[in-house]
């Protein structure tokens, strides 16, 4: 496989056509080498528009996002160089590396020790040094380093936990895929003054839930 041709096709045919036009994001996809974060047995699929398993026998929530989703969320977050980012679900570390290339600091929380170990090795090999990896349930956030300029959830949730919105600084943005399969919405939430927030629906999708995602409250009659 011609790696650079495949990368070019990914950017031009999948990502640019999906309303990702920010040159800084597009250029970054050539710099952070996606294939180096993909398990060797699936490396030929590194630039395909699919979710790639993180390891043999991986479950639905143990896969890399499609490249177009990664690029689109990066564009929508519009990170500034001084930004501090919280990522919930480290996965392969590829999105972590993209975020780290745009921000000053990334805190990434992974609940699965096996995945965390692989991500740490991938990030070290790629020379990414401005990421702090933490173990635990990311749906609780990471109060020790709050507030954050941006928070990213790499799996879906029925609803966005208030505790995460509370860890955004004013003007901070949170990306999440919200809802129930098979119809979910990718949303960008921005914290406003007084603890309120605005919401913009970006696109429809379907994504496996984060581990221990909280079920929405329901009324019983």
The pTM (predicted TM-score) of the whole model is: 0.93
Distance CA 160, CA 140 (A): 11
Give the CATH number for residue 182: 3.40.50.150
Tally of domains in the chain: 1
Q: Answer yes or no: is 210 within a domain.
A: no
Q: Answer yes or no: is 214 within a domain.
A: no
pLDDT digits (tens, 9 = 90+) for 128-145: 999 999 999 999 999 999
> If DSSP codes are grouped into helix, strand and coil, which group holds residue 199?
strand
Q: Answer yes or no: is 218 within a domain.
A: no
Q: Answer yes or no: is 57 within a domain.
A: yes
pLDDT digits (tens, 9 = 90+) for 36-78: 999 999 999 999 999 999 988 888 889 999 999 999 999 999 9
Q: Answer yes or no: is 215 within a domain.
A: no
Q: The domain containing residue 47 runs over which residues? A: 3-205
Q: Which two tokens stand for residue 42?
A: 């699936």
- As beta bridge partners, residue 106 has 85, 131
Q: What pLDDT, on a 0 to 100 scale, did the predictor assign at position 57?
A: 87
């Amino acid at each position: 496989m011609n790696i650079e041709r495949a990368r070019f096709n990914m950017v031009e045919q999948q990502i640019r056509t999906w309303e990702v036009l920010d040159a800084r994001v597009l250029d970054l996809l050539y710099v952070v080498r996606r294939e180096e974060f993909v398990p060797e047995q699936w490396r030929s699929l590194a630039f395909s528009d699919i979710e790639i398993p993180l390891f043999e026998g991986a479950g639905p929530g143990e896969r890399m996002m499609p490249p177009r989703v990664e690029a689109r969320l990066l564009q929508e977050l519009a990170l500034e160089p001084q930004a501090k980012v919280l990522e919930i679900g480290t996965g392969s570390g590829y999105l972590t590396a993209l975020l780290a290339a745009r921000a000053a600091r990334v805190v990434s929380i992974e609940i699965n020790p096996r995945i965390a170990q692989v991500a740490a090795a991938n990030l070290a090999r790629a020379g990414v040094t401005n990421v702090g990896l933490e173990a635990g349930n990311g749906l609780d956030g990471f109060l020790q380093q709050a507030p954050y300029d941006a928070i990213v959830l790499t799996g879906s949730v029925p609803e966005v936990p208030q505790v995460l919105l509370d860890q955004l600084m004013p003007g901070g943005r949170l990306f999440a895929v919200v809802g129930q399969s098979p119809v979910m919405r990718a949303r960008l939430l921005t914290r406003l003054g007084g603890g309120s927030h605005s919401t913009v629906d970006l696109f429809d999708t379907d994504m496996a839930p984060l581990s221990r995602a909280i079920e929405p409250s329901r009324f019983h009659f």
